[in-house]
Amino acid sequence: MPYSGSSGASGPARLAESEAPLSAHIAFGAAVPDLPVGRTDLPALESTIGAHVQIASAFVDWSYVPGGVNEVWMADGGARNLLLSWEPNGIRFTDVSSGKEDSYLQKVAASVLAYPYTLHVRPWPEMNANWSTWQPTADGGKINGGTPAQFVAAWQYLVTFFRRRGVNNLKFVFNPDSSNWPDNTPVSSIWPGSEYVDLLGIDGYNWGNDSVGDSWRAFDTIFSNMYTTLTALDSVHPVWITETGSKEPQKEDDWLYPKESAPVDPDNNKGTWINQMMSSRLFPRVEGIVWFNMQKERDWRLESSNASLNAIRSYLSTPSGRRPAVPGRAAPDPRPARRPRPDHLVPADRPLGPGTPAGVARTRSGAPPGHEGAP
């Protein structure tokens, strides 16, 4: 649906600039279609960009037991950080805090204890967003949700479960979405406390100009408000951009949703967007950026055009970490942002390959077709 003007949100955050651009202090990661079970897409991306992917991201639900051969392969001998979107489909907050899921969690604990590296998980990712089936709401009505108090209890129970069993290599990422729709859940109401969090994460995308009201938005515009919110709640932990991507303006991006035209946009350039991202000085605590490298609602891939690919290569594949000049930095925008649909994982027509465990997430369940709750 088109934007309807002012969201009623607060004004743009004012951030002090850091001395160094993001390119100087981040690990660059990616989510690719065949993880966690595939062995093809990640090496192919590394070959394409001419660099080692430092964070590998995948999507799983609560029937998948992490810490096995898939994660060992992705970790590449400890040279790569791992980030799993850990999605409790069909499970309410009280199911967790009451111990109903303990048998599954015990399997995870045993597996991760035997895993030789650190593993980052983001339970209930984008939990604040109005489209999420696990959004905490006052009436607790979301199918996989409950109330804010029940969310906090579930989060604290989950973290305590693993820490009491000595699973110190499992790190918990508190990961809201960057959007600020009026019916999103305030992050302050679901914050579990710094002692129950190891890392802060934020998701956000540039959808580009389209027929349903989206417009081209710079990286700083997308992330500054939520970055300010999280770093005010927590003064200690580092921040990762746990999902991001940009529309490719050199093409019509309506292949998944034909009724939504995202036309060729000669006024914008994805390479410039990447340059602005890597040159940003507004996020001194960001230590990782994970690119959603898939063609789905948009062609989010880094290789969507020569301009995009050349831009990321200029940062990642040269020893000097060359930093192209930034044409200009957009001011933070108080308008709400849209995000990839809740089914933004593996395209439905793409086979996951032989031996795919049932727990590998293809979609986020419970979302109606079409807009899946995105305004």
DSSP-assigned states of every residue in 126-176: TTTSTT-TT-B-TT--STT-B-HHHHHHHHHHHHHHHHHTT-TTEEEEE--
Token pair for 13:
């955050």
Write down the CATH superfamily of domain 22-316.
Glycosidases (3.20.20.80)
249 upstream amide cis, omega within 30 of 0: no
314-318, Cβ contacts within 8 angstroms, sequence gap of 24 or more: 315/23, 315/28, 315/274, 315/278, 316/28, 316/49, 316/50, 316/51, 317/49, 317/50, 317/51
In percent, the amount of the chain with pLDDT more than 70 equals 80
Q: What is the pLDDT of residues 67-93, one digit of tens each?
A: 999 999 999 999 999 999 999 999 999
pTM for the model:
0.85
The 3-state DSSP composition of the chain as helix, strand, coil percent (nearest 5) reads 25, 15, 60
Q: What is the pLDDT of residues 200-236, one digit of tens each?
A: 999 999 999 999 889 999 999 999 999 999 999 999 9
Higher pLDDT, 99 or 11: 99
Do residues 209 and 262 touch, judged by C-beta distance below 8 A? yes
Which whole number is the average pLDDT over 102-107?
Answer: 98
Do residues 161 and 216 touch, judged by C-beta distance below 8 A? no
- Return the minimum-mean-pLDDT range out of 46-60, 232-246, 249-263, 303-317: 249-263
Exposed, middle or buried, 267 (CB in 10 Å: 0-12/13-18/19+)? Answer: exposed
Whether the pLDDT of residue 334 is over 80: the answer is no
Q: What is the pLDDT of residues 15-47, one digit of tens each?
A: 666 689 999 999 999 999 999 999 999 999 999
Domain definitions of the chain by residue range: 22-316
Question: Which residue in 173, 73, 85 sits closest to 116, CA to CA?
Answer: 73
Biggest alpha carbon–alpha carbon distance for the chain: 56
Token pair for 162:
């693993």
Instruction: Output the pLDDT for position 198.
Output: 98
Handedness of CA 119, 121, 286, 22 (dihedral sign): positive
Across the chain, mean pLDDT equals 85
